[in-house]
Chain A
C-alpha cells in the first residue's frame, strides 16, 4: 500500500535531486568560467614570454608562476616544444627551469592524477631531466598504455642510447602498444641508433612478433637493416613474416628474392610480390606479371596490373596490346583500371 508519506518522500527525493543536479551543472559552469578566465590571464602573461623565448631567448625578469597556473603553463609550453627545434627549444627550457618546473613536474609525476602525470611525463622528457630517469623507466613498464608510451617517449628525449637498450625489449614484449605510436617513438630515435638493435630483435623474434618489428624497420627507413630483413625472409616461411619482408624490399638487388615468391600458393604473398615488382621489377618480369594479372584473387590482379603499368610506362603500345589481347576478362578489367588510375596521377 503506497501511503501519502511515501509519495511525499518520493516526490521530494526526485525534486531535490533534480534541483541538486541542476545546481551542480550551474556550479560546474561557474567554475568553468572562472577557470577559463584564469587560463586566459595566464596565457596572456606567458604566451608572449614563451614565444619570445623561442626567438630571442627569455627575458631577464620572469613573473611568478602560481601553483594554480602550472598546468595551463605546461600545456602551452609542451605545445610549443612539440612545434619548435634547436635553440628555440633551449629558450623554452630556460624559462621552465627558472620558474621551477622540474620540481613541480616531478611532484605531479608522483602525486598527480592521470592527466597531471601524463603532462609531467611529457614535460620532463622535453626538459631532458636526468633526475626523472628512474621513475620514467618504471612508468614505461606500467600496464596503462598512455602512461607507458608517454614515459617511453620521454626516455628517448632524455638519453637516446640508454633508452634504446631499455625500450627495444619493451617494444617486443608490448603487443598492446599501438603500432602507429611505437613507430613514432622509433622515428624519434632516428635510424642510426635503432636500426641495428631492432634488426637484431626482428631476427631473434618469434614469428608472431617479427612482422611488427619488420614494419617498424620500414617506417624508420632503416636501409642498414635490410641485410637482416633479407636474412629473415630466407630463414622463414611464416606468412606474416614473409609478407612483412616483401612489403619493404625496394632495392633492385632484392629482385631474385621477390621473384621466388611470385608463384607462392598463398595469395597474400603473391600480392606483396606483385607490389614489390611494381617497385623494382624489370621488363623481363612482364611474363610473370601477365600470369599474376589473371590470378584468381582480386588483390593479386590489381597489384600485378599496377606493376605492369609501372614497368611498361614508357611503352604504351605494349600495354595497349596486353590489355586488348589478354585472354582473361578480369585481367583486362584490372589493366584498364590501373591505366586509368595512372593517367589521373
Chain B
C-alpha cells in the first residue's frame, strides 16, 4: 500500500515535469518559427524610413515616483526617439524627492490648466504642466497612492493619442523601438496590445539616454537574471504570440489601444501584477464579448531596464511577481476552460495555472519528497536521478535553447566570452538560484493565499550603467 502510494507520487512528480518540459519545448518550436519569419522581414526595416503622416500617434506614459537620479536622462532619451508623432507624459506620483523640481528646471515646465477627462479612476490630480522647450512633453502631478497602476490610470486619462505605451521611469529604449512596436497595430486593426523584449541594463553602458554597449553584469544574481529574461521573453512569450495567447505584456514596455483599455476599466490598483492582470482581463472581456482582437509579442523592439542585484530586492520582486500572477489568474478565472476561451482558455491559462503558478510548490515538494524518500529507502536512487534530470536538467536545456534563439536572431552580447559566461550562468542557475527563486515564489503564493497585504518594496536603482548622469547638479 505504502509502496503503491510512493510509486504514484513519484510518477506524478515525474509526469508533471515531462508535461511541463514538453509544453516549453512546443513553445520553443513556435518561437523559432516566429523569430525566423521576423528576421527575414527585417531586411527592409534597416532602410531609411519614410513616414506618411498616417502613423498612429502614441502617448508614452512614464510613472515616476522618487526617480530623481534617472528621470531627466530618461526623458531626454525618450524625446529623441524616432517616431513621427508622439508625446511623453510623465506622471509624477506624489514624489517626495526632487523629481518634479528637476523636470521643471531641465525642461522649462509651465503649469497649464488642463481639463483632464477622468475616464478611469485615479487619485486626484494636483496639476498639469507643459514644457516650453519640448512641445511634446507633458507632466501630470498627482497625489501619491494606488501604486504604479494608479499613475498609469492618471496617464491614460491625460493621454491625447489613441495608443499609449506604458514605461518604467528607468526604461531605456532604442531609437526605433516605438516604430517596431507599433507595427502590429498598423498591420492589423484588431491589435489591442503589443509587447516587446525587456533586457537587462546591468553591465551595459548608456550615454545620451541610449545604449552604446551591451554587456553582461558582473553581479552573479543579475547575470542569472539575464538568462531568465531570455527564457521568459524569447520563447515564454514569443511562443504564445501566434496563438493569440500572450498572458502578460511587461509594464516596462507595452503598447496598448487606449479606448480598449478604458472600456476594460484601466489598470487595477488592488493587485501588484497590474500589467499581467490587465492583459488577462482584455483577453477575458474581448473573448466573452466575441470581439475579434489580437494581443501580440514583437521580438524586435527592445527595452532595457535595471534588474535587482541584491538578494533583498530580488526576493521582494519575485514574491511580488508570483503574487501578481496568482491575483491575475484568480481575478480572471472565468477564462479557464471557458466555452469562448479558445487556445487561451483551454491551453495557455491552464498551463499558467499548473506550470507557472503551481511549479514552485511541485518542485520544492518534489525535492523534499525524493530527499526524504531516498533517506528512508522508499524511493530509489534511479527515480531521484530521473526527477533531477527532468526538473533541473531539462530546465537547463530550455535555457540553452533560449541562448540559441538569442544567438540566431539578435546576438546582442558581442564577445565570445559573454557567451561562455552565459553558459556558466545557465549551469549555476540550476543549483541554488532556481531553488531560491522557488522558495520566494512559494512565499508569494502563501501571501496571496492568506490574503496578506501586498508591499511593493523599494527598487534600489544604482544607475551604474549611466555614463553621463544628469540632473543632480548642486
Taking a contact as CB atoms under 8 Å apart, the answer to whether A114 and B113 are in contact is no
Q: Main SS of the interface on chain A?
A: helix
Taking a contact as CB atoms under 8 Å apart, the answer to whether B400 and A18 are in contact is yes
Residues of A within 8 A of B50 (CB): 82, 184, 187
Determine which residue in A11, A180, A302 has the highest number of CB atoms from chain B within 10 A of its CB, and name it: A180
Binds B, one of A24-32, A95-103, A201-209: A24-32
Taking a contact as CB atoms under 8 Å apart, the answer to whether A219 and B400 are in contact is no
Asked whether any CB of chain A lies closer than 8 Å to the CB of B397, the reply is yes
Please report which residues of chain B, range 22-69, place their CB below 8 angstroms from some CB of chain A when the two chains form the complex.
37, 39-44, 46-48, 50-56
Asked whether any CB of chain B lies closer than 8 Å to the CB of A321, the reply is no
Residues of B within 8 A of A17 (CB): 397, 400
* Cα(A330)–Cα(B115), bound, Å: 8
B interface, how many residues as a size bin?
Answer: 35 or more
Residues of B within 8 A of A336 (CB): 113, 115
Taking a contact as CB atoms under 8 Å apart, the answer to whether A2 and B386 are in contact is yes
- Asked, given contacts A11-B393, A22-B423, A28-B408, whether A340 binds B112 with beta carbons under 8 Å apart, the answer is yes
Taking a contact as CB atoms under 8 Å apart, the answer to whether B110 and A344 are in contact is yes
Please report which residues of chain B, range 421-462, place their CB below 8 angstroms from some CB of chain A when the two chains form the complex.
423
Asked whether any CB of chain B lies closer than 8 Å to the CB of A345, the reply is yes
- Asked, given contacts A22-B400, A181-B186, whether A7 binds B37 with beta carbons under 8 Å apart, the answer is no
* Cα(A29)–Cα(B53), bound, Å: 40
Residues of A within 8 A of B114 (CB): 337, 340
- Asked, given contacts A18-B400, A118-B41, whether A2 binds B411 with beta carbons under 8 Å apart, the answer is no
Of the candidates B188, B386, B404, B419, the one whose C-beta lies within 8 Å of that of A7 is B386
Name the distance in Å between A114's Cβ and chain B's nearest Cβ: 4
Asked whether any CB of chain B lies closer than 8 Å to the CB of A53, the reply is no
* Cα(A83)–Cα(B47), bound, Å: 9
Of the candidates A10, A82, A114, A301, the one whose C-beta lies within 8 Å of that of B40 is A114
How many A-B residue contacts, CB cutoff 8 Å? Answer: 145
- Asked, given contacts A179-B186, A181-B186, A333-B115, whether A82 binds B47 with beta carbons under 8 Å apart, the answer is yes
- Asked, given contacts A29-B411, A82-B48, whether A178 binds B404 with beta carbons under 8 Å apart, the answer is no
Asked whether any CB of chain B lies closer than 8 Å to the CB of A313, the reply is no
The 7 closest A-B pairs by CB, nearest first: A183-B52, A114-B40, A178-B186, A21-B400, A14-B393, A333-B115, A115-B40
Given contacts A2-B380, A119-B43, A336-B115, 4 further A-B contacts (CB under 8 A): A78-B47, A181-B52, A187-B52, A341-B130
Q: List 30 A-B contacts (CB under 8 A).
A: A2-B380, A6-B386, A7-B386, A10-B389, A14-B394, A14-B396, A21-B401, A24-B404, A25-B404, A25-B407, A26-B416, A29-B407, A29-B416, A32-B407, A33-B416, A78-B47, A114-B37, A114-B40, A118-B41, A122-B47, A146-B41, A146-B44, A179-B54, A187-B52, A219-B53, A298-B117, A336-B115, A337-B113, A340-B130, A344-B110
